[in-house]
Structure 1
Amino acid sequence: MSRTVVNRILLGLVGVVLLGVGVLVLAGGLDLYRRLGVDPPGWWPLTSPHQPVVSARSRGRWVGSSWWWPTVIGGLSVLVVGMAWWLVAQLRRTGLAAIDVPTPGTGGLRLKVSARALEEALEHGTTVLPEVERAAVRLVRAPGHPRLRGAVRLTPGGDPVGLVEHFEDGPRADAVRSLRLAELPADLRIRVLQEAPAGKRPRSARRRGRRGHRELE
């Protein structure tokens, strides 16, 4: 599961919980139940503006139990650690700002190429390949060497195998040769549009569960 999906799920859950709590507090604080003639059950958390959110009985109900404070402290610790991990994960960058180009025999000269410039060159080189409608390429960190991640959308009837061969022999080979890299692995995700009836937009084959994926080493 990607970081974006995890973020959306977590943010969605937090948003639903906060929205529910906010609605309950707002309804009780504005005395909406009495005004609307609604009789909430006795266990309802907040029913009037004069009622505390957490009653004195609820606050002191479990304090005398031996498991209460270890459970509270342990639960809060897990929450803090989880939020800290989430924050660190957001701050950690997976993409590269630049890539080092080997310069043997130049007396310590260091040469760097902008990662975005390389990505744009690869995207352009992939877009002009046969049957390619759209391409997006990103350079990411990987142990020992950078790695490419690409997403390509083919026109209806496109050949994924042929695209992989063109990509490997064309844009990827040009990048390896130009940057003098020993290797440049790539993960290529391919989607093929389906033929659509006249007057309708083509549909992606991925929506029907047919997903093209090929890893180049």
Structure 2
Amino acid sequence: MRGTVNRVLLGLIGLVLLALGGSVLAVGLGAPAPSWWIHDSRHDVLLDDSERTQWRDETWWWPVVLAVLTVLVVLALWWLTAVLRRHRLAEVLVDTGDGAGALLRGRALQSVLTAEAAALDGVARAHVRLTGGRTAPRTRIRLLLEPQVNPSAALDRLTAEALTHAKDSAALDGLPAEVRMKSVKHRAERVS
């Protein structure tokens, strides 16, 4: 969901900036100004003296301008860090017992956990994502269960088998998991 929102927002902002930048370039190169353009010719300045000094005597003007610009910068930085932040764990630090340690690829542990969870009885499909830090990973697991499966029993098997195997094989103290389960919905079929 967040990826879709990011793409839509980036697309809209890109289109607006492209339209404004393209029209500024076109008018600067001598093309006729669009009907919505705020100036008449290519020799007009963006803000003339009267527009620039119009609000100078108002005491509220500059604090409002600075507050709006500060909020825009903070929102842009927040959005940038949210987009650039890794949502998947790249590697897990495994304690080998000799004090050196080893690195286990996060995708390898993810794929093994996914395969083992999908192989459980009554699980139609499984999706696992590793999050957290390299020394304290966490898992987010989505299971698609067959209609006849008891969710409590499926969760017990997942905990006792797949999660315990992953925790033991990576020599982790714990492997917290957030598990979301959904049941498969089959369409009604006609029997003739």
- TM class by smaller structure: 0.7 to 0.9
Residues 1:48 and 1:86: Cα distance change in structure 2 (over 3 Å): closer
CA RMSD in angstroms, aligned pairs only: 3.4
Aligned to 2:104: 113
Q: Distance in 1 between matches of 2:74 and 2:39?
A: 36
Q: Distance in 2 between matches of 1:112 and 1:122?
A: 17
Q: Distance in 1 between matches of 2:53 and 2:148?
A: 69
Q: State the TM-score, normalizing by the size of structure 1.
A: 0.66
Aligned to 1:194: 185
The answer to whether 1:88 aligns with 2:66 is: no
Aligned to 2:92: 99
Unaligned runs of 5+ in 1: 34-44, 200-217
The answer to whether 1:167 aligns with 2:158 is: yes
Alignment check: 8 A CA contact 2:138 2:177 kept: yes
Residues 1:10 and 1:116: Cα distance change in structure 2 (over 3 Å): closer
Alignment check: 8 A CA contact 1:101 1:180 kept: yes
Counterparts of 1:26-175 in structure 2, within 5 Å, are 61-104=54-97, 106=98, 108-142=99-133, 145-175=136-166
Unaligned runs of 5+ in 2: 24-30
Q: Distance in 1 between matches of 2:158 and 2:71?
A: 46
Residues 1:125 and 1:17: Cα distance change in structure 2 (over 3 Å): closer
Q: State the TM-score, normalizing by the size of structure 2.
A: 0.73
Shift of 1:89: 2.2
Greater RCO, 1 or 2 (C-alpha within 8 Å, sep 6+): 2
> What count of residue pairs does the alignment treat as equivalent?
180
